[in-house]
Structure formats: C-alpha cells, structure tokens
A and B are shown apart, each in its own frame.
Chain A
C-alpha cells in the first residue's frame, strides 16, 4: 500500500513539469525572439557573403569554427555519463543520464548547422555527398557526427519507452495529439519480462557502441586542425587533448542543466546534493586530465621555442592574446579545480557559478585554439588591409554565433516540456530495490 503511494508520488513528481506554464512561455518567447534576430543576421550573410564577418584571407576560420568545436565538445558528455558511468556501475548517475543525453543530442545535432553557417556556399552542401572525397577529414567528421546523433537519439529514446507508456496513462490532461504520440512511441510497452530483456540488451549494446563513436567525433574534429602543418595545430596529442577538454565543458553543461531543472521543476528530492557532490568530483577529475594535456600542449613547444612556434606562443603567453589565454587557464580550469576540492564548494549554488566560469572558459579556449594560429602563418602578412592581420568579430558574426546556442536552449527547454527529464520507471525500480 505504502509502495503504491510512493510510486504515485514519484510518478506525479517527475511528470509535473510536463505542462505549459507562464514562465515557460515567457522564456520560450525570449528565446524565439532572440533566435529570429540571429536568423536575420544570417540572412544578411547569405545576401552579402562572408564579408559581414571579421574574417579575412589569413584568419579565414574564426568564431564559427571555434563555436563548432565547442558544440562537438559539449555533446561528448552524453557518452561519459549515460554510457561509461552507467556501465561501470555508478548507480548515482542514473537520474542524470537523460539530462546528459538531451544535452548530447542537442549539441551534436546543432553542430552540423554551425558548420553550415561557416560555408561560403551553403547551397552547395549537397556536393559533399555528390563529390565527397574520403581523404578529407571533413568527410570523416560528417560521417561520425551523423552516427553519433543517431546513436544518441536511440540512447535517449530506448530508456524512454516505458516512460512514454506512463506519460500516456497519467497525463490525461494533455492534448489528444500528444497523448497519441506518447502511445505510439511507447511501442505497446507492457513491461513484460521479454520486453525488459530486449530493451536492457539494446541499451547495453548502444552504450558500448557509443564509446568509440564519441571518441571519434572529437578526435576527428581535432584532426581538422592537426592534419595541417600550421603552428599551434601541428600537434600529435590534439585528439586526446580535445577529448579531455570535451568532458570539462560537457560536465559543466550538465551541472548547469541539473541546477536549472532542479529549481524550476521542483526536483530537489531526485537531483540531490549528493548528485552535485559527485558531479563536482567528476568535474575535478576531467579538469585535471585536461590540465595535464594543456601542460603538454603548451609547455613542451614552449621549452624549445622553435622559430614559428615561438611566434605563436609569445603571442599567447605575453602578446595580444595573453589576457584571454591566462583568463581561460586560470578561471576556466585551475581555480575551479582548486575550489571544487572543498566539500563546501560542491553544493548546488557555488557549483553553478563555478560551472558557468568553466563553460565560458571552455568556449573561449576554443577561440584561443583557432584564431591565434590563423593570425600567424609562416610567411609575413603583407599588402593587405590591417583588418586581415588582426581578427575582430563583427556584431552580425556574433549574432550568427549566438544562434546555435539559442537553438540548443530551445531544444533543451522544449524536450523538458514533452518528456520526463528524470527516468520515471527507473526511479521507481530503484526505489523498489532499495526498499527490498
């Protein structure tokens, strides 16, 4: 009897956020308005060409590309939490798996759009499929990102099947169309032993499959740079360096999402201080690994100061990018690590602030990886306007860079209004196991 009561409470708690309230409409209205402005900026770029950006013949890749790297990076967290942690038996991560998977899917899917915004001829995208050359790392990237989006979608959907049934049964006040969709997506789930076996096995296989694919998407993204001989990119550790950095920004994104969902959807009983404590420790771990790769990436060439490396590194350490470089390393990496070592800091409020620093740092870190290298070619930059030598992003370009970020927020917000962001069935099962 008590069990049934508890079950009902869990179900109603976890489904309570699936409704359209005033604050949602306000927030969504804000996001959509911003997105419309950003789209207008993109329209001017389509009309006038990439001249609307601060790019030139030397710095020909700028914020769009660094934004793309940030997006691919952040999407990797889906693999770490919903696959690696769950497979290794970290039960505490179960309520966070769906949040991580939503973030993974949203960032990975939108990453494809980010790259299109950088193209001079977006209408010729089809050429990649018509004339694609497998020798080009871009082809590898298109392939692995598509596969990652596909597997992430399945990893989001499969654990959702039992919950879809619950949604169909319990959410009787939602529009008929939505209820029918729930019913359809539940694939006649009745919870039979056979069904459970199939779903467990499928999730298990996908959880393993997604590990190499996730590693591949960011490794290949790093190769877009490392496959050239440009200073600052010509590095053999770019793959693991990028992957380790990906977990830092992804963990920060999950922490922020956890806090927002917990507060706005009253999920304090389900996303507890314990989860923040564990995520804080996870962030320290991945940040330490990333710090180690940073040390290798900058100290080793910095020790030798070879002619062209020196030009690049002096600019980062003491030159025009020094402020950004050191801010990112300190506020986005070193200080968060130190702070999070203290238990007091691994509480929701301080952690959200730290995570915000980390995620901003992560964004600017990609900027620091892409732009300074482009400003330092081997041969001198001469006989061109000054604007070709120093990259200054324009307002239009900034708005177009903002567009995918807004789009991700729209996707994450909308999904949380359609599906329970904490697995209902799993939480009930977990509770039953505990009471036994």
Chain B
C-alpha cells in the first residue's frame, strides 16, 4: 500500500516537471521570436534611402550598394606580421609552381648558391640550394646537380611537423613559419633530400635584422633554434619575378614557371617553353620517385654536357659511392 502511494507521488512529480519544462520552452520561444522581430525592425531602420555608395570590385566592375552594407577594408601594411603570415600560408592563387633543372648545362659556377645565401641571410655552411658532385655508381659518370628543396606534393616534412609550422601551400610551395617552429628537427630527420638546415646559433645578421618584420615567404630574419629551407623565393614570385637562384645562374640551368599554364621560363636566356614538352623531349625525371614524395622539381639528364666534370671534383663525387661499397 505504501509502495503504491509512493509511485503515485512520483507520477505527480513527473507531470509537474513536464509541465514546467513546457512552460520553459514556450517562454524561451517567445523571447526568441520577440528578439527576431526587434532585430528586423532595427535592420529596416538602417535602410534609410539615399545612403548608397559606389564601389569598385576586384574584377574592375563598378557597383552601387547600400552604405550600411559596406564595411571598411582593413588596410594591411607590409610590416604587419599577422598579415604576412596569413599571406604566406595562402600562397599565390591559381598557380602551381615548378622548377626544371637542366643538368647538361651546369658548370658548377655556384652563383645560385651565393645569390640564395645573400637573399636568405644564411651562413656559408647553410644551403637552401646546394650544388652536389654526384655519381650513382663506380661505372657511371659523375655530374653536377643543383639541389633545392623539392617542394614535394606529398611532403614528409609537413606530415611530421607537430605544430603546423611547416606547411604546403595551394600553389605547391612548402614553407616554414619560424615564429611558430619549436625546433624539434623532426622535419630534418624526415626529409630524404637533406633540404633543411637549422639555426644552431644566432643567425649571421641577427643584430642588423633585429627590427625587420618576419616574412615567411623569404624566411628572413632567420631565427636561432628554428629550421630554414628553400622557399622557391615565394617573395619574388609574389612580385612576378624569378627566384634568386634561377636569375643568378649564368649557364641556363634553371627553368621556372607555372604548371597550370604549362610554361616555364629559362632564368638566363628568358626563353619561355612548354613545360611538358621540355620534359618529354629531354627525358625529364624527378629525384627518388620510389619514395612517393612527388617533387615539384624536375631534372633533365646530364646529356651532351656543355662543360666536362672537373677532375678536381672527382674524389668528392666518388666518396658517396665508396661509402656504399657499391
């Protein structure tokens, strides 16, 4: 008997709770509806006639809109770090940058290396681009090979970065934000092309560049304890110019351009050619395709070289295969 009455009591409680809940829902609903109506009235109030302005769109179209709908575009300065960081991550829309390195033209002049080091304020032992003396095996000939970052479409460095400091942009370039880099060097370990360098100590021009606002597209100023590497001269590309190494080459080694346009331009001769045709006619290839990294740097084999491989460089080229015992 007692149990029964307790049950009933419970039931009563429930219905009371349910009732309260319903009241609550209706209450909240009414308040929301009221707010919406108020907002609507206010919106109409703003639309006083006559307040219309002319605006010019990015597509060069002149439009007229209500003044109340217009918001001021915040002006970004080139010295605004946040703006530069955002711009560096967005890349240059519509482009897919590619580089072609013609090994038959390389005389080991190293103008690319010095132009690069000057632009990126690097120490003499730091190379964003490194001209290597290569030899695949004892029975095959040596050759010079310029090696920048390969800007892989499947970049192992970007995959392992714990803080998204290094990233792949829509236009194909892999960059580093050295304001975010924690210096764990996982990317250096993961890169099969040894493309990355580290600032083991204060950078070369640290004192001089103290007040320079950091530009990730140039990676200057360099920062102690962070990683650096080739940026495909993203800062130059933004200005419509060729990368530093490409325009510094005296021997016509480099072609640079946009894969979407299927056009690459030689940095020395300024001759523009079809990208796919250039690869097709010269048996273009990429480094270590077996790793599946999909580089954006292509090589043309060292066939009919314009200058012989220097005797003095032969021992260094052989060193790597000696280590191989091949």
Contact = CB atoms under 8 A, between A and B. Distances in A.
A24 interface: no
A55 B200 contact: yes
B182 A385 contact: no
Given A51-B200, A55-B200, A120-B225, A229 B291 contact: yes
A127 B192 contact: no
Contact of B189 (A127, A228, A379): A228
Contact of B182 (A53, A56, A128, A137): A128
Given A127-B180, A136-B159, A380 B320 contact: yes
A379 B201 contact: no
Interface string B145-188: 00100000000100111111100000000000000111111101
Interface in A131-145: 131-133, 135-139
A120 B199 contact: yes
Contacts of B115: none
A224 interface: yes
Interface in B178-230: 180-186, 188-190, 192-194, 196-202, 224-227
B226 A120 contact: yes
B297 to A, nearest CB: 13
Given A127-B180, A315-B323, A49 B196 contact: no
Contact of A48 (B180, B183, B201): B201
A314 B180 contact: no
Given A125-B182, A138-B184, A382-B130, A57 B189 contact: no
Interface in A106-130: 118-122, 124-125, 127-128, 130
Contacts of B202: 49
Interface residues of A, number: 53
Given A121-B183, A224-B186, A60 B324 contact: no
Interface residues of B, number: 52
A357 interface: no
Contact of B156 (A49, A55, A228): A228
A373 B127 CA distance: 21
B45 interface: no
Interface in A21-64: 48-51, 53, 55-58, 60-61
Contacts of B226: 120-121
A130 B160 CA distance: 16
User: Does more than half of chain A's interface fall in helix, strand or loop, or is it mixed?
Assistant: loop
B184 A378 contact: no
Interface string B44-76: 000000000000000000000000000000000
Interface string A289-304: 0000000000000000
Contacts of A311: 323-325
Nearest to A389: B319
B133 interface: yes
Contact of A121 (B181, B188, B316): B181
A120 B182 contact: yes
A136 B325 contact: no
A232 to B, nearest CB: 12
A320 to B, nearest CB: 10
Given A118-B184, A119-B183, A127-B180, A381 B291 contact: no
A227 B199 contact: no
Contacts of A132: 162-163
Nearest to A231: B192
Contact of A380 (B133, B183, B189, B200): B133
Contacts of A48: 201
Contacts of B133: 380, 382
B162 A60 contact: no
B281 interface: no
Contacts of B320: 379-380
Contact of B324 (A53, A135, A310, A384): A310
B85 interface: no
B126 interface: yes
Contacts of B119: none
A228 B224 contact: no
A227 B190 contact: yes
Q: Which of A132, A136, A230 has the most CB of B within 10 A?
A: A136
B299 to A, nearest CB: 13
A133 B125 contact: no
Contact of B225 (A50, A53, A224, A315): A50
B126 A138 contact: no
A50 B199 CA distance: 8
A255 interface: no
A119 B224 CA distance: 11
A377 interface: yes
A49 B199 contact: yes
B134 A380 contact: yes
A130 B194 CA distance: 28
B32 interface: no
23 contacts: A51-B200, A57-B198, A60-B198, A61-B189, A119-B183, A120-B185, A120-B225, A121-B226, A130-B163, A131-B164, A133-B161, A136-B161, A139-B162, A228-B156, A229-B291, A379-B134, A379-B194, A379-B320, A380-B319, A380-B320, A383-B113, A384-B125, A384-B127
Interface of B: 113, 125-127, 130-134, 147, 156, 159-165, 180-186, 188-190, 192-194, 196-202, 224-227, 288, 291, 316-317, 319-320, 323-326
Given A61-B188, A118-B185, A378-B194, 14 more contacts: A49-B201, A50-B225, A121-B183, A124-B181, A124-B182, A135-B159, A138-B184, A227-B160, A311-B323, A379-B132, A380-B132, A381-B194, A382-B316, A383-B132
Sorted nearest first, the 6 A-B pairs with minimum C-beta distance are: A120-B183, A120-B225, A51-B201, A138-B162, A380-B320, A136-B162
